[in-house]
Amino acid sequence: MLAYRLNSSENAPAFALINGGGVRATIDEGPITRGEVLTAFPFGNAIVEVTLTGQRLWDTLEGIVSGVNLDNGKPVTSFLQVSRGIVIKYNPAANNGSRLLSVTLGDKPLDKAAEYRVVTVDFLSGGGDNFFSPSFSDIPPLDTLDEVLVDYIAAQSPIDVKLDGRIVKAQSTCKRSIPRGNKKRRQT
């Protein structure tokens, strides 16, 4: 999604974001068929670009890692997958609304006063999985996700996938007391 927009947009987007529920199947190693692509992405979602302030992007990501949209208080019903260009660090043990620890775009921390272009799919921009609130309207749809993926595979083949730590779970560093029978409380 990101490569597609970088190749066809005058204003480079910062990163791409999709819901985990939008990916329905794995694509096995070996030759990739159009059928496998359609099985993995069966919904016909169109790619869109949205512009968010840094603060709204932070709040959106906080809602996703907390599982509750900060704007409307309703559950976020999926987790995110992101492209290169962003690193999200969060603490799943923290309270909802304070799990997001840092967001790095490129090699710089997110600037809450700046504006960012984000590539996503029309399902999410329209309020799907409660990622964005309020939802975006009147955004022109671009090509469908399956078409973009087929073109990407043809251009990048062979594909060599590696995990690169775009979404990082932080280790909890807080200490808490745990009662041990009649013994003194011990710090862990």
Which residue range is the domain that position 25 belongs to? Answer: 2-187
pLDDT in tens, 156-175: 999 888 888 999 999 765 54
Rounded alpha-carbon distances, angstroms, from residue 74 to 44, 70, 79: 26, 8, 14
- Say which CATH number the domain at 110 has: 3.90.780.10
Lowest-pLDDT range of 114-118, 119-123, 126-130, 171-175: 171-175
Looking at residue 120, its pLDDT comes to 97
Whether the per-residue pLDDT at 81 is higher than 50: the answer is: yes
Whether the per-residue pLDDT at 67 is higher than 50: the answer is: yes
- What is the pLDDT averaged over residues 74-96? 97
Whether 62 and 157 have beta carbons less than 8 Å apart is answered as no
Looking at residue 174, its pLDDT comes to 53
C-alpha–C-alpha distance, residues 185 and 163, integer Å: 41
- Strands in 80-82's sheet, in edge-to-edge order, are 47-53, 115-121, 15-19, 80-82
- Could you list the beta-strand ranges (E) of the chain: 15-19, 47-53, 80-82, 86-90, 100-105, 108-109, 115-121, 167-169, 177-180, 183-187
Task: Give the three-state DSSP class for 4.
Answer: helix
Q: How many folded domains does the chain comprise? A: 1
> Which DSSP letter does residue 46 get?
B
Q: What is the pTM of this model?
A: 0.87
